[in-house]
Amino acid sequence: MSCESTTPNLPVRREGERGSAYLFALFALLVLSVIGLSLALVTQTEVQISGAERQATRVFYGADSGLRIQLANHLVNGDVEAHTRAHGNPLVLDQRTILGSQMSELIEVSPFYPIFSGVCNLCMVNQDAGYFAVNHALTSTALRIGVIGSTETEQARKMVAQMFALQPWEQTIAALQQAGDLSTIKY
């Protein structure tokens, strides 16, 4: 009987293969880190883009609301005056303080200008000649302003202009005079 060992043949280790699994694991970690960092960068960019889009949309709808508010004031109260910061009476949408800076969202609305008087097509009172179809021009600007200390920074601005055809409308000289000088309209 021979006394030979019954252990299986183990593969022979070569010196050039030492640490190859460690290098493969390091390479895999490097690739995963690059993918993770690129996803973080893309996510950060998307957050900035969506914030700017939200701000632009909010300011646009603020300007559109300014038109509707001025139209309602004109129809109900006969108010045709401008609502601007220069006149000291802007329409304020929102004011809040965030980390020591004050954010304000304002609407500035031009005066309600009658620019054309014509025959009222929808009226049965045309024979009287006291009622007209009057086109009015109106401009609304919405602003988002940040104030840090005494420095005022404009974050966003949108301007919306619209014409309103109001009929039947009793046009009077007093209403035209109340609208102000038409030469002050900025084009």
Q: With the C-alpha atoms ordered 112, 116, 117, 120, is the resulting torsion angle positive or negative?
A: negative
What DSSP designation does 11 have?
P
Which pLDDT value is given to residue 21? 84
Section 137-142 average pLDDT:
89
Which pLDDT value is given to residue 46? 93
Residue 57 backbone dihedrals phi, psi, to 5 degrees = -65, -40
Name the residue with higher pLDDT: 183 or 47. Answer: 47
Q: Please report which confidence band the pLDDT of residue 36 belongs to, taking 50, 70 and 90 as the band edges.
A: very high
Task: Give the global pTM.
Answer: 0.65
Residue 57 CA to residue 154 CA, distance in Å, equals: 16
